[in-house]
Structure 1
Amino acid sequence: MIGSDSSTTPLPHPHQHLHPEEHPSSAHPHVHSEESLRRIVNRLSRIEGHIRGVKTMVQESRPCPDVLVQLAAVRGAVDRVSRMILDEHLTECVARAAQEGNIDVEIEELKAALDRFLP
């Protein structure tokens, strides 16, 4: 992978999304483990470093096919972190909503997010 970012940002424990009045699409808090958040943030940091590497390639007028190969790698990395987030949401948030009796709200939020996420 081109470039890397070894810096880490301290994560809150436990992680909670914004309250509904601060983020209208979130009707209730989502709590995730510190380890799960760390894995996702680390992946995003690597993607960020990879993007910086692709930018450098363009600035250095590297061959277009080489840049395209790196962009394909970035796309794959973004897809993989998206899958991690979706898996986490299904196993943690949707399961918790089912236990708490909020499954209909959670499913509607997920559908709305997927409508925007998927092409």
Structure 2
Amino acid sequence: MSTSSDAISHSHPHGSRTAHGHSAESLKRIVNRLSRIEGHVRGIKTMVHEDRPCPDVLVQIAAVRGALDRVARMILDEHISECISRAVTEGNIEEELTELKAALDRFFD
């Protein structure tokens, strides 16, 4: 398994890439969504402090879960389109698939 310190940066004709090979635009989009989710979670915390009705709090928690699932989907899509494709080209597809399966096992556990 590689870490960010030993990962190799990959260039791409459509923009800059991070050390793991993802576009800066994609990472910005994911971080922006996570920031919105973070704000939403703070709002839920405020609701609890204000002793808002439990059903209202649960609805907001469900919304955060849905938003997190959508971010996970974005990350998975990015991984498949970038990392898996790159692994095929570089000849290390088995290692990449093993890491992906382990991550998915933890995600769905």
TM-score by length of 2: 0.84
Q: Is contact 1:47-1:74 (8 Å) kept? A: yes
CA distance in 2, matches of 1:59, 1:77: 23
* Code of the aligned partner of 1:105: E
Q: Deviations over 1:47-106 (max 9, x none)?
A: 000000000000000000000000000000000000000000000000000011010000
Of 41, 46, 49, the residue aligned with 1:51 is 41
Matched, 1:60 2:50: yes
CA distance in 2, matches of 1:91, 1:31: 11
Distance 1:18 1:78, change over 3 A: farther
CA distance in 2, matches of 1:106, 1:58: 42
Cα offset, 1:18, TM superposition: 3.9
**Superposition misfits of 4+ residues, deviation over 4 angstroms:** none
Q: Is contact 1:17-1:31 (8 Å) kept? A: no
Q: What 5-or-longer segments of structure 2 have no aligned partner?
A: 8-18
Q: Identity percentage over the alignment?
A: 71
The structure whose residues are more often helix, as a share, is 2
Partner residue of 2:87?
97
TM-score by length of 1: 0.77
Of 68, 73, 77, the residue aligned with 1:78 is 68
Number of matched residues? 96
Q: What 5-or-longer segments of structure 1 have no aligned partner?
A: 1-15, 21-28
Q: Is contact 1:47-1:78 (8 Å) kept? A: yes
Partner residue of 1:109?
99
Matched, 1:88 2:78: yes
Q: Which of structures 1 and 2 has the larger relative contact order (alpha carbons within 8 angstroms, sep 6+)?
A: 1
For the aligned residues, what is the CA RMSD?
Answer: 1.5
